[in-house]
């Protein structure tokens, strides 16, 4: 009897060990970056630490892909992954890296702006760690579904109250939200360092135009929108008009003067750059959703949102087709394309002419067509 109990104990211990080991592999897998496959238009790859050396070698550092045209022109910074649980922004930035070339001007693309936030999930949300997209050759590209906030391993603990560099006070947890910490502090919290590095890039590279890519829940009023700093009002209005000609509806939202820490507010206030932030509807962001599966992330189909739409509770159109990632990325890419067209008309002395920008209809039909296979 004693021997039998001993074997049961050993079996239980072995089972626990296996679970721990598998969990450890799953956890550390989040620290490995799924590859981004640069297209021929990428002329140089730098690290963000080039603009703030103190983050070199840490999980805060991240790639900056540079697409430089043969002719001089304007300078454009595209930010994806400010919130890594908003994959439409990340994937739109990846699409630019893997497809686009520049004829004039220079484009800087940061697909994983808050890199450390890609290395974990939001606690208690039950979100997937990864999601995949099928390519035409039958292979798959895997991407991480991260968190809205910086990994506690890189920054802990957060204060009870966050005193922003402008003197404004925010909830303590906002110090882990990259889109609340601009213009940053070089010697501050980890998230502030990332913001400071991006701000240094804007200033040192004389960036003319900044676009920050986001997603928001269908019940959130600022949805399918261009949020613009006051300097960029005319540019945003022209972009909206041109998009509507193409049949793409988009709202305009002026950046609130007293809402501190956001890219469009702080980069706009602290540099000469024109700054906009793009929002597109994503059901996996909202509080009305059911289980957050990788299918919800990519297909955007949720029965609870369908009912909410029928009840008139949403600020974005929603039907049985859901709001798939293909559509969300297509909206972002189309808006960036038209934003640059508008920029070139307003500032012909600082043009940013791009080629091989994937078309809206092509992305809607299949995002995977515009992602390069992993060799």
pLDDT of residue 13: 57
Give bridge partners of residue 211 from the DSSP assignment. 78, 276
Q: Are 373 and 261 in contact (CB under 8 A)?
A: no
Q: Are 277 and 254 in contact (CB under 8 A)?
A: no
The pLDDT of residue 28 is above 60:
no
Find the helix packing angle between 325-346 and 87-99, rounded to 10°.
60
pLDDT tens digit sequence for 343-371: 999 999 999 999 999 999 999 999 999 99
Write down the mean pLDDT value for the chain.
Answer: 93
The pLDDT of residue 287 is above 60:
yes
Backbone φ, ψ for residue 116 (5° rounding): -65, -30
- 18 pLDDT band, cuts 50/70/90, is very low
- 17 pLDDT band, cuts 50/70/90, is very low
- Global pTM value: 0.93
The pLDDT of residue 309 is above 70:
yes
The contacts of residue 323 (CB under 8 Å, 6+ apart) are 218, 281, 282, 283, 300, 316
| DSSP calls for 161-193 | EEE-TTS-EEEGGGGG-GGGSTT--TTS-HHHH
pLDDT tens digit sequence for 293-302: 999 999 999 9
Coil, strand, or helix at residue 13? helix
- 30 pLDDT band, cuts 50/70/90, is low
- pLDDT above 90 covers a percentage of the chain that reads 89
Distance between CA 234 and CA 276 in Å, rounded?
12
For residue 122, count CB atoms less than 10 angstroms from its CB and return exposed for 0-12, middle for 13-18, buried for 19 or more.
Answer: middle
- pLDDT above 70 covers a percentage of the chain that reads 92
pLDDT of residue 20: 42
- 292 pLDDT band, cuts 50/70/90, is very high
Distance between CA 55 and CA 292 in Å, rounded?
33
Backbone φ, ψ for residue 109 (5° rounding): -120, 125
The pLDDT of residue 95 is above 70:
yes
pLDDT of residue 31: 73
The pLDDT of residue 2 is above 70:
no
pLDDT of residue 124: 83
Bigger pLDDT: 24 or 249?
Answer: 249
Which stretches within the chain are classed as H helix? 2-29, 87-99, 190-204, 233-245, 263-270, 294-299, 303-310, 325-346, 360-365
- Domains along the sequence of the chain with CATH: 31-370 (3.40.630.10)
pLDDT of residue 125: 86
Please state whether the peptide bond connecting residue 183 to the residue before it is cis, i.e. omega within 30 degrees of 0. yes
Q: Are 193 and 184 in contact (CB under 8 A)?
A: yes
pLDDT tens digit sequence for 216-232: 999 999 999 999 999 99
pLDDT of residue 6: 53
pLDDT of residue 122: 85
Q: Are 106 and 338 in contact (CB under 8 A)?
A: no
Bigger pLDDT: 177 or 14?
Answer: 177
pLDDT of residue 316: 93
Beta strand pairing call for 71-79 and 101-110: parallel
pLDDT tens digit sequence for 313-336: 999 999 999 999 999 999 999 999
The pLDDT of residue 1 is above 70:
no
Instruction: Provide the token pair at 279.
Output: 């929002």
pLDDT of residue 22: 43
pLDDT of residue 10: 52
């Amino acid at each position: 009897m004693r021997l039998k109990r001993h074997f049961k104990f050993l079996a239980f211990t072995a089972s626990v060990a296996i679970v721990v080991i598998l969990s450890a592999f799953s956890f550390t897998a989040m620290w490995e970056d799924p590859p981004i496959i640069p297209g021929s238009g990428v002329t140089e790859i730098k690290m963000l630490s080039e603009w703030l050396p103190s983050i070199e070698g840490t999980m805060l550092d991240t790639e900056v892909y540079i697409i430089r045209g043969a002719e001089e022109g304007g300078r454009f910074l595209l930010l994806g992954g400010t919130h890594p649980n908003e994959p439409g922004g990340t994937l739109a930035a990846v699409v630019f890296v893997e497809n686009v070339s520049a004829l004039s001007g220079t484009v800087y693309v940061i697909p994983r702006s808050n890199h450390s936030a890609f290395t974990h999930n939001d606690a208690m949300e039950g979100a997937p760690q990864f999601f995949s997209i099928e390519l035409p050759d039958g292979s798959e590209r895997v991407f991480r579904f991260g968190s809205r906030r910086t990994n506690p391993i890189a920054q802990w603990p957060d204060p009870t109250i966050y005193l922003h560099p402008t003197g404004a006070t925010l909830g303590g947890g906002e110090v882990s939200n990259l889109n609340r910490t601009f213009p940053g502090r070089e010697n501050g919290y980890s998230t502030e360092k990332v913001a400071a590095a991006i701000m240094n890039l804007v200033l040192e590279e004389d960036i003319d135009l900044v676009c920050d890519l986001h997603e928001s829940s269908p019940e959130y009023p600022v949805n399918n929108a261009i949020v613009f700093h006051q300097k960029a009002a005319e540019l945003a209005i022209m972009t909206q008009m041109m998009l509507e000609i193409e049949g793409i509806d988009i709202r305009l939202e002026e950046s609130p003067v007293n809402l501190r820490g956001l890219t469009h507010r702080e980069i706009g206030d602290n540099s000469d750059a024109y700054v906009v932030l793009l929002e597109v509807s994503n059901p996996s962001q909202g509080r009305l959703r059911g289980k957050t599966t990788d299918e919800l992330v990519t297909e955007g189909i949720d029965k609870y949102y369908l009912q909410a739409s029928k009840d008139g509770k949403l600020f974005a159109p929603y039907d049985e087709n859901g709001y798939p990632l293909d559509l969300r990325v297509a909206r972002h890419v189309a808006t960036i394309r038209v934003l640059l067209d508008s920029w070139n008309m307003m500032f012909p002395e600082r043009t940013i002419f791009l080629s091989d920008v994937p078309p809206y209809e092509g992305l809607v039909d299949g995002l995977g067509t515009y992602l390069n296979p992993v060799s």
